Amino acid sequence: MTSRHAHDDTRWELGPVAGPVSPQAPAAQSTAVPESHDLPPLLASGLRALTAMEFPAVSFTVTPDPESVTDARHFALSCLTDWGVPVLADDVGLVVSELVTNALRHSGRATGGRPGGDVHCEGVYDDPADPLGSAPSAIRLRLVHRAPWLLCGILDSSRAAPRRREPDYIAETGRGLHLVESFSVRWGWRTLPQGKIVWALFRSP
């Protein structure tokens, strides 16, 4: 697994997505990540493909289930194999796991029960309910591959900005966005009419 954040090819990249956190700030302090605007045309086109499910984007429904993070990662890795870029498996698998975990933890209304258990209540992406009558999904993992680039996005029902915390390397949580930044070429987020998309960009060697 290798960090691709400092890749030389900048056609898709943005400037820094957030300013540095003061070294004197307590570990629990968090900083809202600025929304990404004025993207390079190719990246903007990829995001449109993800949000509108335009070809060649593919989509996976994230269910409110303990195995959903693993299932989403397996879906992503299967797509990488089909597209002939298994070399990205470690980086994409880690980032997908972090972003899906964050979406399950933070999106939707808190209605009690286990974390993430309420995120499917609103059906924000006009997904039909399944034949058994369960609530429509509010979270999607989407991927689009345009060689040598791979773009992944997590759509959820919360419009709140992702928040970056000063990493605490002793604590078991709080490092998610730092990992996303380290193992992707670039990442960011954008509000949608019914939520947001958090995206991460990768480049095959």
CATH number of the domain encompassing residue 158:
3.30.565.10
Query: Per 3-state DSSP, what percentage of the chain is helix, strand, and coil (rounded to 5)?
Result: 25, 20, 55
DSSP per-residue letters across 11-52: SS--S-SSPPPPTTS-TT-EEEPPPP-S--HHHHHHHHHHHH
Q: For residue 118, is pLDDT > 90?
A: no
pLDDT level of residue 130 (50, 70, 90 thresholds): very low
Query: Is there a domain that residue 6 lies in?
Result: no
189 in Cβ contact with 162 (< 8 Å): yes
For range 26-30, the mean pLDDT? 55
Q: Per the structure, how many domains does the chain have?
A: 1
Query: Is there a domain that residue 4 lies in?
Result: no
Cα(27)–Cα(47) distance, integer angstroms: 32
For the stretch 55-85, pLDDT in tens is: 889 999 998 887 899 999 999 999 999 999 9
Would you give the distance in Å from CA 191 to the centre of its chain?
13
Query: Is there a domain that residue 17 lies in?
Result: no
Residue of higher predicted confidence among 27 and 191? 191
Query: Is there a domain that residue 41 lies in?
Result: no
Query: Is there a domain that residue 184 lies in?
Result: yes
pTM of the model: 0.73
Q: How far is CA 102 from CA 55, 60, 69, 112, in A?
A: 27, 16, 10, 17
For the stretch 148-164, pLDDT in tens is: 999 999 999 888 888 87
Of the candidate ranges 15-19, 78-82, 136-140, the one whose mean pLDDT is the lowest: 15-19
Query: Is there a domain that residue 160 lies in?
Result: yes
